[in-house]
Structure 1
Amino acid sequence: MLIKYKSVAFLPVILSLFQPVLAEDKDEAKRPQSVSDIIERPGVLTPKGKFAVDTSISYTQNSSNKVSVVGYTILPTLLVGRIEVSDSDRTTITTGLTMRYGLTRSTELELRLPYVYRNDQVSTRPIQDGAEANTINTTLDGGGLGDIEFALRQQLNFNTTPYWVAGFIVKSDTGKSPYDVEVDSSTNTFLDVPTGSGFWSVEPSISMIFPSDPAVIYSSLSYIYNFKDDVEISNQQVEVDLGDTISLSGGFGFAINPDFSFSVGLSHKTILKSKVNGVENDDAKLLQLDSLNFGINYAISKKTSLGISAQAGLTEDTPDFQLSVRVPVTF
């Protein structure tokens, strides 16, 4: 999630990056800004009466290797049962159209429409069977509309530092839920690709921006609450409560010249355990996701900029790599 601001003590370079939110005059923004992407590149709220369109595309690669053991141990070195090894490579390409409007000097509205394309390749083979021909290769390919998001952001102060921005995001369930996709019982894999979570959620957040000439230090804290819903599992209606998510991120943005800047940051997410019919399953897992983020931003013109960001996963459950390209335009 992202942010940029101006300080009276800043060099002209920094002023050009952060002027739209803090300036008292009515000059137009030097370039499109965003408060929703502080990890990727610094930005600010859309000026009052201005409309911004942000087109983006992101590529995410995730791979994993897993060994499953179904059986029991007679001796520490003797296992009776079945050992199965699986290798999965999942590629996700998400294109997004984000529209922002400056409702007031300190308030911004946002609507995001994502389209998700996925290609999953999963290979499984029982070790003890030995023959390579017994390897089961499954490829899933497809896409569709993702979960549409609505956001409201409010800058809380202007004249003192650090600056604070509060946000509230509502995520819909327009994407195809994993619970709506059929599963192959023999391989325990999807027969189609899900494109959304299948659950409504809300995400309140608070972001801090502290100008420190010639850099800007930022941090953000948010909590994603998923609403419970009834889904069908194994031909039975059950109530599923997805685990909520606690997110914390921070880093700094630095301007090289009036047109080029970069940002470096770390982000952490804790995904709490899910519940089925109010009870945690024995295999429910608390997930810890950490990533290193690096982004650059280049001002193509006074109304258009190009942002490129890369994210590397630091923990097992985090996607291995993500590359995003954004082109926001202010009208």
Structure 2
Amino acid sequence: MRIRPLLGFIAAALMLPAYAQQGGADSAAARDALKKQEGDTDQSTLLKQTLTAVDKQYSLIKRGTIAANYELNYSYVGQERINADISTGQLTLFEINNDSAHQITNTISVDYGVRDNLTASVSLPLVSKYSENPAFDGFSHSLGDIGIGARFQPVEAKRGRPNLTVTSNLRLPTGKSPFKVDANQNLATGSGVPSLTAGVNVNHIVDPVALFGSLNFTYSGAAKDLSQIRGTRVLTRVEPGPSIGFGLGFAYALSYGISTSISIQESISRGTKLYFRDGGSAKTKTQTSGMLNLGIGYRVSPKTTLNITAGIGLTNDSPDFTLGISMPLSF
């Protein structure tokens, strides 16, 4: 049976970063402040390891078991911004600014089997970012947003029928908030708001192929009591809109030690409401982000599989390129 070694790899193929929730409605400066940070771990925390550790009854880890996993993720975002001034009726200013951002996230996550069909998890990300743009050119290192999650399998897994897992994840705003840092002196490493994600994952094994899909909904809390200067205005409150995401793909076992996968993920986020000290407000546009992921898994040992996944952004609201490496940790 060749499907067993690729189950751990399927979960890594589903590890996709969460994408920008905010767009531009008031000014370019406001867009930059409200853009959700590339590399956030919403989808990664929600979907990872949902198909691992095959058991006779359940596909989650067994009761009383502790499992740890290490992930290294890299993402790149680049864009060209054209500044032109035609307010006088003539072109008096024209320049092209190249903005680029690199982010490396090291994440250690720990799972605990509360029951055979219920697993609790916590993830600790360490974020390093480098940005090169007219506002700031430099590095930033900090703790990212901590995630606390749970996965529940309501029905026993049986061969020949789809396997359903219910998931939830609470993200705490422990990283540097984009609404509190000085954009000219530092970089944000977190989202700045708490969020709760709930969803379902489904997989179906047709040996040697595993089909999988996911659907989730995210609600974010508001960022209050702000006093951030953005251009000529002072931002005092931010209310992110809800988002919905879905993904699907398949994994194929080439041999007992090598597996490949292809998956696609998309998320749609409603506009964010912005409130300013002068009494004014604005709302950003709805954003759609999508990623195409190609992966390979190498079975290093009977209990260890090294997973490598490369992602290509399909929309303007997605990172241009992502690269992820994950593997279980043994104690």
- Range class of TM-score, shorter chain: 0.7 to 0.9
Which of 66, 79, 82 is the matching residue for 1:67? 82
* Correspondence list, 1:235-250, <5 A: 236=234, 238-250=236-248
Match of 2:153 among 122, 132, 155: 155
Q: Does the 8 Å contact 1:34/1:46 carry over to 2?
A: no
- Cα drift, residue 255 of structure 1: 1.2
- What is the Cα deviation at residue 292 of structure 1? 0.7
The 5-angstrom pairing of residues 264-279 of structure 1 reads 264-277=262-275
Are residues 1:232 and 2:247 paired? no
Q: Spell out, residue by residue over 1:76-108, the C-alpha distance to the aligned partner (whole angstroms, 9 max, x if none).
A: xxx355444321111101111111112211111
1:62 and 1:90 in contact (8 A); partners too: yes
Flag the 1:16–1:288 CA change in 2: closer, same or farther, 3 A. Answer: closer
Residue 22 of structure 2 is matched in structure 1 by none
Letter in 1 for 2:245: S
Q: Percent identity?
A: 24
Q: Is 1:212 matched with 2:206?
A: yes
- In structure 2, the CA distance between the partners of 1:118 and 1:237, relative to structure 1 (3 Å rule), is closer
Q: Give the length in aligned residue pairs.
A: 283
Q: TM-score, normalised by structure 1?
A: 0.78
Which residue of 202, 212, 225 corresponds with 2:196?
202
* Larger RCO of the pair (alpha carbons < 8 Å, separation 6+): 2
Q: Do the aligned residues in 2 keep the contact of 1:303 with 1:330 (CA within 8 Å)?
A: no
For residues 92 and 242 of structure 2, what CA distance do their matches in structure 1 show? Answer: 36
2:178 alignment counterpart: 178
One-letter amino acid of the structure 1 residue matched with residue 14 of structure 2: I
Partner of 2:327: 327
Q: Give runs of aligned pairs for residues 128-147 of structure 1, distance below 5 A.
A: 138-147=136-145
The corresponding residue for 2:14 is 38
Higher Rg: 1
TM-score (norm 2): 0.78
Q: 3-state DSSP class of the match of 2:227?
A: strand
For each residue in 1:154-174, what CA deviation from the matched residue of structure 2 results, as whole angstroms up to 9, or x when unmatched?
A: 112223721111100000010
Runs of 4+ in 1 over 3 A off after TM superposition: 15-18, 32-37, 39-43, 68-74, 79-84, 277-280
1:285 counterpart SS class: coil
Q: Which amino acid aligns with 2:82?
A: V
CA distance in structure 1 between the partners assigned to 2:324 and 2:114 by the alignment: 28
Deviation at 1:309, TM superposition (A): 0.7
Matches within 5 A, 1:290-329: 290-329=290-329
2:106 aligned with 1:112, yes or no? no
Distance 1:36 1:229 in 2: 31
Q: Aligned residue for 1:223?
A: 217
Shift of 1:69: 3.7
Whole-Å separation in 2 of the counterparts to 1:33 and 1:258: 13
Q: Deviations over 1:229-270 (max 9, x none)?
A: 212233856221023221111000111222221210111111
Match for 1:232: what amino acid?
Answer: S
| Residue type at the aligned position of 2:124 | L
The Cα offsets for residues 15-49 of structure 1, whole Å up to 9 and x where unpaired, read as 4555xxxxxxxxxxxxx688586357873222332
Q: Which blocks of at least 5 consecutive residues in structure 1 are unaligned? A: 1-11, 19-31, 124-136, 184-189
Higher strand share goes to which structure? Answer: 1
Q: Report the CA distance between 1:181 and its aligned residue.
A: 0.9
* Shift in alpha-carbon separation, 1:291–1:317, aligned structure 2, 3 A: same
User: What is the distance in 2 between the residues matched to 1:146 and 1:100?
Assistant: 19
Structure 2 gaps, min length 5: 17-47, 53-59
Residue 93 of structure 1 corresponds to: 104
Amino acid at match of 1:254: Y
Paired with 2:252 and 2:315, the residues of 1 have a C-alpha distance of 27
Residue type at the aligned position of 1:208 = V
Higher mean C-alpha displacement, 254-263 vs 42-51: 42-51
In structure 1, what is the equivalent of residue 256 of structure 2? 258
One-letter amino acid matched to 2:76: Q
Deviation at 1:192, TM superposition (A): 0.3
Supply the distance in 2 between the matched residues of 1:249 and 1:50 (Cα, whole angstroms): 29
